[in-house]
Structures are given as structure tokens and as C-alpha cells.
Chains A and B, each alone.
Chain A
């Protein structure tokens, strides 16, 4: 539920309630997905910020063919992949470092980052190849349907099912090897 805001803000910035509602409703989905790609809490926050601002700026281009949730998650997946791959951007020397340094990182954020870094389950999930990790996270952790996963990733439902099948096998094996409460029958 969006928190009450000052009337003056609503008058001055009439589009902001929409942005705030999106963050309340889907902020957790967006940052979980971003983190699943980049395995860095501070970077995941940067990506989440970028996602919501982009969506807010480009609201007029939203076609309504999908839900706002899958639209936001689709932007998240693309932004995270762009960050990870950025084959052209890796040679760009804009003020990325300065921009990061300018954002004050609170103790809370540092504590969260440290806790996440210690989470062995996240570490196991991050060892999955990206193409399987993204469907596993969206399907099992964020509980999207296979059709929604397909919309987010821009692939067919058949491709989602294929990747889920392989992703499940890899995850089961990894969890079994790590002794994390899953017994992998195929390893007997």
C-alpha cells in the first residue's frame, strides 16, 4: 500500500504516485531479479533505480500488451544483462565510478550486502549458468507462471520449459552436493 504523501508533492509532481505505487508493488521483484544477475547488492540497487526511472520516463511507450510487473521485470533483465555484458560499454570511460562514489552507501546497505554475500543458497544459485538461473528465479522464487517468464525474457514458453527442466536438474544437483536439503535421485 503506498504511504500517504504530502498534498503539495502530489500537486507539484502529478506522476509520482504511479512511480511510488510501482515501487511498493514490484520493488521487491525488481531488486531480487537484479541481484540474481549481478550478485552485488549495491549494483542491484543501482539497476533497480535505473529500471524504475526508465519505466517512469517511458510510461507513454508502454503498450499494455503485458502486465506492468512483467514489463518492469523485462526492463530489469535487460538492464542487468547490459551491465554484465556491455561489450561496447566496457570501453566507455564515463563517470560511472564517480557516480557510484557520489551515492552515499548507508550502513544498512552495507550490512544487507554482507549478509547476502554470506548466504550460501544465493551462492549456489549464482553458480547456475545465467540462462537457467533467470528462469529458476522467476519461476520458483518470484513465482511467475511460465507464460510470464516468457514475456519477461522475450523467449517462447517452450524455451522456458526447456530451460526450467535443465535448470531444475542443475539446481537439484548443486543443492544435493552442498547438502542443502535436496536429495538428487539422479546421482544415486
Chain B
């Protein structure tokens, strides 16, 4: 490539038709920003970045909008809204080396979590839910993240541990204040579906959290790192076909505590970040949650890590064939399963 070629290419590329940033679009953005400002604090003019405002009234409206939910829920929602308003007014920045991460519930009422069918999917192979925005502010996809988990059929208790879990995004676009959006997701866990019909045979549970951290003393849920140090994280390709690709994440876990550590008591949180600021909270990361017990026949490691012991583990993830795993930084964190599940 010569400098002249470079110049020629530059000249040619300058001949691409202009993609105008129209005044109408500018007005649209400014109007949307003004609407968000006005939604904050019922007319309070100053914008508080990364802060949710959830008025007590919003809880009442949301409760009224849910069929079959009585007065008791109104009280609960009002308290919840007030709690959220205070818990989320303080934001804590994400630190890779933190020992704990405080999560605040998203201002969403999650109802009617059920097994159903999305267009194009096998019958009853998806999880559906209704999400109602209980705040006075739009809830955008990037504002929240979810954890979808499953317990065996007939066992509705997350306390006893879930079989399988995954990060999920919020609905694409946004949910306007007090509006309800239907949400759906097709999980790929090997134990979840009936072998012949693909119908989900386990019980789904769904939670949504704000996509930023809060102080642990104000958190609805605290994720605590296990005493397992993670090192030597490496990513290697496995299979790519027309639709999906699989990569394997290798890691070494070392028990830094003085007690044996059962792997069944923790989960791996894995994310691929495209920038240093991106954590597992960001919808821009590619993120996964995994059990630490071997999943495939050729995966062998102990179920308990002794004090000082170091073991090699690996996780196999599947995504679409265009996910740019190898242009991103892979992170692995081992989190103790919180009381009541993730």
C-alpha cells in the first residue's frame, strides 16, 4: 500500500453520500432529554446523573395496574418505591478488586413469569414475563440487568439452590413510566428442556437489578466474592457454525482461605468487556453465569477445593457467530451464592 493508494482511498471514501444528522433528529433528542429531566423528582429541575427517582405514588399506580393483586401489594410497592428512591440515590463505582457488590432492585414489578412460546421458537421453550415500570422515569435497557434462574419442576424454592442461571437484558428500547412491557427469553440450559419437545420442564425465576452498584448497607442483595482467587484466564475457540460459536474459558482457582471450599456454594460470573469500564453490569458486555461443577464428561476437577489448593477449571459458552470474544477482555469472578439466590 502506497501513500498514493492511501490518499486515493481517502478521496473515494469522502465521496460516500452524506448521512445527515437532521435538525428534526436533534430536536427529537433534546425533547426526549427535556422529558427525562421533567420526569425527575416531579418537576425538580436539576438532573441527577445515574439516579432513579421512584415516587410513592408510582407504587400505587403499578399495583392498581396488576390484575389480581390486592391492597397489601400497594403498601408493599409504596415501601419498595421509597426504599428504591433512597437506595439508588447513591451510586458506587465498580471495582474489580472489591470484595462485595451491592445490588439494588430495578424499579420494575415482575409478574406472570411463565413458560411460553416466542415467534419462531419450539412450543413452550421460552420464558415470558410482564414488567411494569413502577417509577416516574423511563427504564432503558442499559439501566438494568436481570438474572433468570431455574429450580427443578415442583421445587419453587430458590433457597435450596437453582439448577441453572443466566444473565438477561431488560426489554430492548425502554419502558415508559407505569407502562407494562412483555419480556421473553429463550434459555439454552441442557437440563431445562424436555429432550423431544424442547418444552421447558423446570420452574423459572426472574429478578432485575439496576445496572450500577449501591452501597452494601443499602443494597437489596449483596454479591460477595468467594475466597477462590482466579488467575490464568484464557479464552480458546471451540466450534463455529452458521449460527453459533462456542468458546472455552480456562481459569485457575486457588483457595486462599483456611477452610475447604465446596464449589457447589458459588457461581462463576464471566464477562467479555470491550472497554476497561465495562463490567458484568453493562449490557454492552457479553456475560454469563455458570455453576462450578463439571458439565461435560471431559471436564474433571474436584468438588471441594482444599485450603491452598489450586485447580484448573473451564467453562464453555455459546453465543451467536458474530460475538467478538477475541477482541474483548475476559473476566472471571467467583461469587458466593447469596441467601435466597442471585
What residues make up the interface of A, taking CB atoms closer than 8 Å to B?
A: 9, 12-16, 19-20, 23, 27-28, 30-32, 35, 41, 44-45, 48-49, 52-54, 56-61, 63, 74, 78, 81-82, 84-89, 91-96, 99, 103, 106, 108-109, 112, 115-116, 119, 121-122, 125, 130-131, 136-137, 140-141, 143, 153-155, 159, 165, 168, 171-172, 175, 180-182
Contact = CB atoms under 8 A, between A and B. Distances in A.
A73 B327 CA distance: 17
B71 interface: no
B14 A61 contact: no
B21 interface: yes
B241 interface: no
Given A58-B50, A131-B324, A175-B12, 19 more contacts: A12-B45, A13-B37, A27-B25, A31-B25, A45-B22, A45-B25, A82-B283, A87-B319, A87-B320, A93-B184, A103-B28, A108-B22, A112-B20, A115-B17, A121-B12, A121-B15, A155-B327, A168-B1, A180-B12
B169 A88 contact: yes
A147 B176 CA distance: 39
A23 B29 contact: yes
Q: Pick the most buried of A16, A41, A95: most chain B CB atoms within 10 A of its CB.
A: A95
Contacts of A159: 327
Contacts of A74: 275
Contacts of A181: 12
Contacts of B37: 12-13, 15-16
Contacts of B33: 13, 15-16, 19, 53, 56
Interface string B274-293: 11010000011000000000
19 contacts: A13-B37, A16-B37, A19-B29, A19-B30, A27-B21, A31-B20, A31-B21, A41-B19, A49-B25, A58-B50, A60-B50, A78-B284, A88-B168, A89-B141, A91-B185, A93-B119, A93-B184, A121-B17, A131-B324
Interface residues of B, number: 67
B26 A85 contact: no
A116 B18 CA distance: 8
A28 B26 CA distance: 11
A157 to B, nearest CB: 13
Given A49-B28, A53-B33, A35 B19 contact: yes
Q: Is the interface of A mostly helix, strand, loop or mixed?
A: helix
Contacts of A12: 37, 45
B327 A154 contact: yes
A120 B330 CA distance: 39
B46 interface: yes
A95 B173 contact: yes
Interface string B114-158: 000011010000101000000000001110000000000000000
The 8 closest A-B pairs by CB, nearest first: A94-B171, A27-B21, A60-B49, A154-B274, A140-B13, A87-B320, A119-B17, A141-B13
Nearest to A79: B284
A93 B182 contact: yes
Contacts of B97: none
B24 A108 contact: yes
B275 A154 contact: yes
A93 B50 CA distance: 26
Contact of B29 (A44, A49, A87, A153): A49
A82 B284 contact: yes
Contact of A78 (B5, B174, B274): B274
A17 to B, nearest CB: 10
B323 A85 contact: yes
A82 to B, nearest CB: 7
